[in-house]
Amino acid sequence: MKFRKYFGLRLVTWALTILIGVTFIFFIPRMFPTDPVENMIGQIQNRSGQMDPTEMAALRRSLRLQFGLEGSLWEQYVNYLQKGLLRFDFGPSLMSFPTPAGEIIGTYLPYTLLLSLTSTLLAWVVGNIIGLLAGFRKDKRSSKVLEAIAICIYPIPYFLVALILQIVFAFILGWFPLQSTINSMGGLGAYLSSLLRASALPAASLLLVGTGWWIISMKSLSAATAEEDFVQYARFRGLSEGRIGTGYVMRNSILTQITALAMSLGGAFNGAIMTEIIFSYPGVGTLIQKAILQSDYNMILGCITISIVAIATATLIADLIYPFIDPRIRYS
Amino acid sequence: MRKLVSLLLVLAMMLGVSAAFAAETTIVGTPRNETLIVETQIPTDTPGQFNSYMQGTSMGFGIHQLMSAMMWEMDTIKGEQFGEVAEGMPESNADFTEHIVKIRKGIKWSDGVDLTAKDVVFTMNMIRDTKGINASAYYNVVFKSIELVDDYTVKIVTNEPFPRLALRFGVTIWGNDLRIVPEHIYSKLDDVTTFKDSAPVVAGPYTVKAYDELGVWVLYERREDWQNSTVGVVTGKMPQAKYVLFKALGDDSTRQMLMISNQVDIMVEVTPEVLEVMKEQNPNIAAWYKDFPYATSDDPCSKGISFMMGKAPYNNKDFRWAISFALNFDETTMDIFDGVGRASALPILTATTAMQELYLKPLKEYMANLEIDLGDGTKAKAYDMDYAKRIGDKLRAEGRDIPTDEAALEDMFGIACYAYNPEAAEKLLVKAGLEKKDGKWFFEGQPFKINMSYLANTEHQAGRGLISAYNQLLKFGLDCNLVSESSATWDSNAALGNYEIGGYWPTGGITKDLYSVINGYDADLIVPIGERGSGQASRWNNERATEIIHELAKISPEDPKSYELGMEFVKVAIEDIPFIGFHSGVKFVPTNTTYWTNYPSAENAYNGPWWWWSCFKYITTEISPVSK
């Protein structure tokens, strides 16, 4: 009964979070001092010079009609809630009209997820293990070295790490491609091999910086936990250090890390814009950036709606699984 | 141990062989020495979409450069059109309402079917009758009928006199939206606007071999029957690269590294600083000139500052001349590209090589003698005719290799620049109704401040020019505010007239007939600020300029009167100064001669370095491999 009530309340919070988030993201782009129709006319003029005045007037009418920008803001909002939120049908991309925004997002999202989810999970696992060791055995020299490395790496902006990796491993040594070019011409083998090569450096840059953060946060959590009375009591009981580390310190420190992981996993849907730009890695991050620059309302809505739903859902899942990790927590 | 060493040696050899192999093949597996790698400006979000009539198709991704069939193409050096699908120029009746267009014989589609008048008639009617095609509404306004006379003749009837059929429906700069499609394929479609055309049948010299499903690259292969392509029939020459790989190169640092490591042959555009770094790292990299000034000044969009003339005091020519006199062009040119670039001190036109010969040189005496009334009984010379010599001397003193010959200097640095005369500027500001109190300027009793906008994410030349003007106007004593806008924000603000001074490029053209460059300056098209009009955003209202535009609309571009009217328009614009031109479009377009050579250059100017224009297909016949 308690679980049902807890689940129901969390579900309502989840739905409200999403509704408020997507409402903001619907209205904010429409307040930009930009207009997708003028943007497209501007692009055409920039390319081909002065446009005949009659032609410009005709084109402007035609584009407004085709882009579905004729109805009132409220009508457009209701339409979006019905189609976009419930069916994930965000309408056509305005800059790649009439290709549906969802179709374009669907092309790039798997690459973003492959890169971001893999690097986030790996960084989380590696960072927490090292952080646990560094915090639990804080007086050992190896712990101090690991902590120092993490402190050095973590503050470096991830795009700077990406640039350094690109210069060293791709430009100077030539071990990896400068750009994430994926070869779709030579069958599955060539595709997978080029995908791995293309993803290696972007993933490494995210992994390095991400690991640094998890090490530092886990180290401080586990160091604090290691000082707790129940850990001392476990030592007095003669339990092994390994058992204390995993069963007492890690289990009590990991809860915060799981919440942070849930947020990071949800955020993975946003892509890593700078890494994607530096390595020309195909992803949702650059898609959002282009959509904002070109006032592609539907594409902005599509990308960010998916992200909002992902983060809200990941947080919901984390909330629901807490009691399984920490028996002190109850559904109430 | 010996076994281990042997194994390592074999492994090293294998790695070496594979590295060597990798060095000789492109990322898509084609032989590097048979593949010309060209940068595209932006990756496409719609990979596999090659139909020019489906919106969102990225035409600049090699599609219009290598595959599209244009009715008329452009000789960018002479500034003259020639027939591509059309055999010569259209023949029109006396009142320009009926036009006969002959179609060139011998062109075949890449599936072997002849390209005939049937394809042209079908394409034009398809555009007119399909509402989802952008140009449809305009075609309905212009065309009464497009009919087949015989297999190689088309009769076009327009609703109103239309003397510029080839100029509007053929290429003049970048490309044109009339691209002939194969009737035998497109006529079978239910909806042409949703047909991706992933394996296009084309009339150009290349077809699609493969494309990246993520939109980063497209590989084109030369047609085996290239002789039957548009380029083959027009020139009789074979495009020399078997493959052309169009590729998005990513951010600036990646672009540089790719070029330095010979992974790209042609880039679109870089800044002079980037070019110099790349040249230092790789001697095979060059631009239009081998050495300083590197860049071509023949891009037809001059950059400078534009006024929003829908409100005071920007609508007052005395104010605009005051701004011109307050700016020291010697400083501006150094701020933009360290002195590189041909001065284009004209309000509407651009000082390209062709325009310099056609309009600027004949106006030299007029410009030298032009004086501006300062309102206190004195006058000031409008132009500084010594600029080319002065900047040449300055750069030579800095160790640059600059010619001394007057003609070469004029070609490099232009005929003249606007004169720098701060005293005249002060007098003109007073004449325009401004007041100076305690070192500050006031207009209509209020402190006067100029809002200056520039585009943050594009065109270094325009942005640097405006920032230089901002600094100089501050130094002069005018209070200014600098605003950086994304192109999307700027497009909207410009259309609504929501700016005061903008650093951008309002015009562009390289043809002798000026109508298509100036027709937007028709004052009848001006709408109030806050409304979107179909004419010039700057709302320049000049009665004589409008009369000239109306007169030009009625006569043929071939009529000698067209040139006379064009010249008169230029003088009207010079005196009314709706735009202060700094330089013509200065482009640093790098090429790499490791694998390919004979790119167009200052020494071999058979075409401009316009890889992103549709005329690129005619350049592919000249670019030759370094090793056979």
CATH number for the domain that contains residue A256: 1.10.3720.10
CA B363 to chain centre: 24
- Within a 10 A sphere around the Cβ of A3, how many other Cβ atoms? 12
Residues of chain A found within 8 Å of residue B172, distances taken between Cβ atoms: 48-49
Which B positions 450-489 lie with beta carbon below 8 A of chain A? 457, 486-489
Residue A32 domain flag: no
Cα of B374 to nearest chain A Cα, Å: 33
Return the CA Rg of chain A. 25
Total tally of structural domains belonging to chain A? 1
SS (H, E, C) B353-411: HHHHHHHHHHHHHHHHHCEEECCCCCEEECEECCHHHHHHHHHHHCCCCCCCCHHHHHH
B370-427 pLDDT, tens digit per residue, is: 999 999 999 999 999 999 999 999 999 999 999 999 999 999 999 999 999 999 999 9
Q: Answer whether residue A287 is part of any domain.
A: yes
Tokens of A209: 């910086």
Report yes or no on A242 lying in a domain.
yes
Q: Does residue A1 fall inside a structural domain?
A: no
User: Is residue A300 within 8 Å of A13, Cβ to Cβ?
Assistant: no
Give residue B4's pLDDT band: very low, low, confident or very high (50, 70, 90). Answer: very low
C-alpha atoms less than 13 angstroms from C-alpha of A34 in its C-beta half-sphere: 21
Q: Is residue A286 part of a domain?
A: yes
Whether B23 has its CB under 8 Å from any CB of chain A: the answer is: no
**% helix, strand, coil for chain B, step of 5:** 35, 20, 45
CB < 8 Å to A104, chain B: 45-46
Chain A / chain B CB contacts < 8 angstroms = 199
Contacts of A61 in chain B (CB under 8 A): 137
Put simply, the answer to whether B60 touches A47 (Cβ < 8 Å) is yes
Cβ of A34 and B488 within 8 Å?
A: yes
Residue B615 reports pLDDT greater than 80: yes
A102 found inside a domain: no
Q: Is B266 left (phi over 0), alpha (psi -120 to 50) or beta?
A: beta
pLDDT of B19 > 60? The answer is: no
Using CB atoms, which residue from A33, A35, A62 is nearest to B136? A62
Contact A59 B28 (CB under 8 A): no
Across the interface, which of B175, B258, B488 has its CB nearest the CB of A48?
Answer: B175
* pLDDT tens profile A35-89: 777 777 776 665 555 566 777 777 777 777 766 666 678 887 888 788 777 778 8
Instruction: Tell me the CA distances in angstroms from A204 to A170, A261, B576, one per residue in order.
Output: 13, 18, 60
Closest CA to B50 of B148, B239, B252, B185: B185
Structural domain of A154: 108-295
The alpha-carbon gap from B513 to the nearest alpha carbon of chain A, in Å, equals 14
Burial of residue B444, with CB atoms counted within 10 A of its CB: 0-12 exposed, 13-18 middle, 19 or more buried = exposed
| DSSP conformation letters of A297-326 | HHHHHHHHHHHHHHHHHHHHHHHHHHHHH-
Asked if B517 is an interface residue toward chain A (Cβ–Cβ < 8 A), one would say yes
The one-letter amino acid code at B355 reads M
In chain A, the residue whose alpha carbon lies closest to the alpha carbon of B534 is A53
Residue B258 confidence (pLDDT) = 94
Tell me which chain B residues have a C-beta less than 8 angstroms from the C-beta of A49. Answer: 172-174, 300-301, 507-509, 516-517
CA B243, B246, B251, B252 torsion-angle sign: positive
Q: Please give the angle made by the CA atoms of B535, B541 and B543, to the nearest 5 degrees.
A: 115
Share of chain A above pLDDT 70, in %: 90
Alpha carbon of residue B192 to chain centroid: 29
Phi, psi dihedrals of residue A228, rounded to the nearest 5°: -65, 155
pLDDT at A331 over 80: no
B494 touches chain A (CB under 8 A): yes
- Residue A48 maps to a domain: no
Using CA atoms, how far residue A305 sits from A22, A293, A313, in Å, is 6, 18, 12
Nearest to A185 among B29, B175, B214 (CB): B29
Q: Is B135 in contact with A93 (Cβ distance < 8 A)?
A: no
The whole-number pLDDT of residue A135 equals 83
3-state secondary structure of B614: coil
Q: Which residues of B touch A293 (CB under 8 A)?
A: 457, 486-488
B262 contacts chain A (CB < 8 A): no
Q: Which of A52, A107, A276, A296 to mutate to test the interface with B (most CBs of B within 10 A)?
A: A52
Residue-wise over B32-61: b if at least 16 C-beta within 10 A, else e?
Answer: bbbbbbbbbeebbbbbebbbbbbbbbbbbb
Give burial (CB, 10 Å; 0-12/13-18/19+) of A237: exposed
Question: How far apart are the CA of A155 and the nearest CA of chain B, in angstroms?
Answer: 22
Please report the pLDDT score of residue B16 as a whole number.
Answer: 42
In this predicted model, what pLDDT tens digit does every residue of A93-146 receive, in sequence order?
Answer: 877 777 888 888 988 888 888 888 888 899 999 988 888 888 887 777 877 887
B18 pLDDT exceeds 50? no
What residue of A is the nearest CA neighbor of B495? Answer: A38
Contacting residues for A165 by C-beta, under 8 A, at least 6 apart: A201, A204, A205
Q: Helix (H, G, I), strand (E, B), or coil: what is residue B254?
A: helix
What gap in Å lies between CA A205 and CA A165, rounded to an integer? 7
Pick from A243-247, B29-33, B323-327 the range whose average pLDDT is largest.
B323-327
B128-158 residue pLDDT tens: 999 888 788 889 989 999 999 999 999 999 9
Distance from CA of B158 to the nearest CA of A (A): 14
Which one, of B415, B375, B333, B344, lies nearest residue B573 by Cα? B344
Look up residue B450 and give its two tokens: 């100029």
Paired sense of beta strands B579-587 and B296-307, if any: antiparallel
H helix runs in B402-528, sequence order:
406-413, 422-431, 460-476, 487-496, 515-518
ipTM surpassing 0.85 = no
Task: Report yes or no on A50 lying in a domain.
Answer: no
Between B79 and B593, whose confidence is greater? B593
Domains of chain B (ranges plus CATH)?
A: 296-587 (3.10.105.10)
Option in A35, A57, A183 nearest B28 (CB): A183
Q: Is the Cβ of B602 closer than 8 Å to some Cβ of chain A?
A: no
Contact across the interface for B519 and A50, Cβ inside 8 Å: yes
Confidence of residue A332 (pLDDT cuts 50, 70, 90): low
Nearest CB among B55, B168, B492 relative to A38 is that of B492
Contact B216 A184 (CB under 8 A): no
Question: Nearest CA of chain A to the CA of B388: how many Å?
Answer: 28
The answer to whether the CB of B53 falls within 8 A of the CB of B193 is yes
Mean pLDDT of chain B: 91
Nearest to A95 among B56, B176, B212 (CB): B56
Q: Chain B contacts of A29, Cβ < 8 Å? A: none
| Mutation to test the A interface, candidates B491, B499, B615, most A Cβ within 10 Å | B491
Alpha helical stretches, state H, A83-140:
86-87, 101-136
Q: What is this structure's pTM?
A: 0.84
Is residue A249 within 8 A of residue A225, CB to CB? The reply is: yes
Please indicate whether, in this complex, the C-beta atoms of A49 and B508 are within 8 angstroms of each other: yes
**pLDDT of residue A19 exceeding 80:** yes
Contact B251, B270 (CB under 8 A): no
Buried b (16+ CB within 10 A) or exposed e, B227-257: ebbbbbbbeeebbbbbbbbbbbbbbeebbbb
Residues A170, B257: C-beta atoms closer than 8 Å: yes
Closest approach of A119 to chain B, Cα-based (Å): 21
Report the pLDDT value the prediction gives residue B455, as an integer from 0 to 100.
84
Contacts of B136 in chain A (CB under 8 A): 62
Spell out the alpha helix ranges (H) of B554-597: 560-576
Is the pLDDT at B13 greater than 60? The verdict is no
Q: How is residue A98 written in tokens?
A: 């009439």
* pLDDT computed for residue B559 by the predictor: 92
